[in-house]
Structure 1
């Protein structure tokens, strides 16, 4: 019960933090929307640009959420929270947020582009949103500054949009599965299960990466207690700061 309470507190905390960044969130959403509108003459290209470009909005929001709470995370760990509580709390808020953004994009693109199978488009865009959360968590946990993290997001999402689906490198990028679904929405027949399974496995791998980097950054290290007489006592350890400094 206490673990659930900690997770809910984390979700609420990140929700309040992101709602204060409404201008930044609006710009993050406007960028992929502009990609889509600029490519709307070619339906397949437009759907890919809008659907995959949306990854920048959701992963960007995730990145800002992670980096803006680094100091708070350290205090929470010292207060008894576990790294997995922080991770699940972020997923609990950012996942639904991504799905809300995905729903808006899906409706807009379905109305304008009229894909042959709208439900496949909805599935693909929803998977982009869900994949963007662990992607942003992994980048935010690995890097400590917003500039470097943002450049990584731009590079990965931009490469996903630039390379063709048949390119060798495309298969190793995080949004290859959702892209196959989005492009398949314009066709009467296209693979469904394969891209979904690939996306799920890639997302789980990104969560593992995020967890490992998070553990390295905020795990509490313990040092021997120094007795007033000057003798170190290994049995009574006092917590250091969560970043490992004395």
Structure 2
């Protein structure tokens, strides 16, 4: 646990030093919310969920890319592969929660959202964070270059915005849970929306985290950290 905490602390400190990035991470979902706020109460909250998901996914992508430079040294110092990816994931969950809290307070204090179920909004934001963090790490594992990875995230979020949430294809999108719980919170529908969103979000979180664990373990175990010169 100590090594896992060291990696999490190191990752979090690295991200917190980039204050401009933190401002942009908060500004992105805020912009989504403000643009859709006037006359689109429900859409503004759903846009906020997607903006938050995109921000945390992007943070995870760049965090994983930046961490590759120090991973060989950490492995030589006795850190196991699970220390590295679980520590980074824990730091991203802390960062995501820190970004989500002021956004939740904004929704709770906004007079235009006085009829919204705040508890449902909080749960949807939590699932946005828990899904987005491993999803960004997974994209980083599959697409090593940051530009291509960012474009993949853009495509996924764009599809999430335009796909019919009632269609069968929407259920395979990573952030469908926020749409379901958002409908429950905004439109005061039955608990079925809440249950489906919760099951989908938890299932995707576990599945994405497992994929990240498998890919990260394989990459770190097969990477050559030391090379011995052969004698002549």
Verify same fold: TM over 0.5: yes
State the match for 1:140 in structure 2. Answer: 140
* Aligned counterpart, 1:94: 92
In structure 1, the partner of 2:154 is 154
Once residues 210 and 61 of structure 2 are traced to their aligned partners in structure 1, the CA distance between those partners, rounded to angstroms, is: 16
- Gaps of at least 5 residues in structure 2 are none
- Residue aligning to 1:33: 30
Q: What residue is the counterpart of 1:207 in the other structure?
A: 209
Aligned residue for 1:219, secondary structure, equals helix
Q: What root-mean-square deviation, in Å, do the aligned CA atoms of Structure 1 and Structure 2 show?
A: 2.1
Tell me if the contact between 2:181 and 2:197 (Cα under 8 Å) persists in the aligned partners. Answer: yes
Matched residue count = 226
Q: How much does 1:103 deviate?
A: 1.6
- Paired with 1:219 and 1:45, the residues of 2 have a C-alpha distance of 45
> Which structure 2 residues correspond to residues 111-126 of structure 1 after superposition, within 5 A?
111-112=109-110, 113-126=113-126
2:183/2:189 contact within 8 Å kept: no
- Once the two structures are superposed, residues 162-215 of structure 1 have per-residue CA deviations (whole angstroms, 9 ceiling, x without a partner) of 222113321101111122101210122332222112111111111122122212
Distance 2:123 2:229 in 1: 58
> Kindly tell me: are residues 91 and 116 of structure 1, through their superposed partners in 2, closer, same or farther at Cα, counting changes over 3 Å?
same
Runs of 4 or more above 4 Å deviation: 220-228
Question: Would you say 1:47 and 2:75 are equivalent positions?
Answer: no
Deviations 1:34-62, CA, capped at 9 Å, x for gaps: 11111112111111001122111111111
Rounded to whole Å, the distance in 1 between the matches of 2:42 and 2:102 is 18
Match of 2:187 in 1: 187
Q: In structure 1, what is the Cα distance between the partners aligned to 2:85 and 2:115?
A: 36
Deviation at 1:133, TM superposition (A): 0.8
Deviation at 1:138, TM superposition (A): 0.8
Residue 67 (1) aligns with residue 90 (2): no
Separation (CA, whole Å) in 2 of partners of 1:148 and 1:213: 18
Q: Does the CA-based 8 Å contact 1:117-1:186 persist in structure 2?
A: yes
- Is 2:13 the counterpart of 1:13? no
**CA separation in 1, counterparts of 2:98 and 2:115?**
20
Greater per-residue helix proportion: 2
What is the SS of the residue equivalent to 2:42? helix
The 1-side partners of 2:34 and 2:115 are apart by: 15
Whether the 8 Å contact between 1:51 and 1:105 is mirrored in structure 2 is no
Q: Secondary structure at the match of 1:48?
A: helix
The question of 1:171 aligning with 2:162 is answered no
Report how far residue 224 of structure 1 moved.
Answer: 11
- Distance in 2 (alpha carbons) for counterparts of 1:175 and 1:184: 15
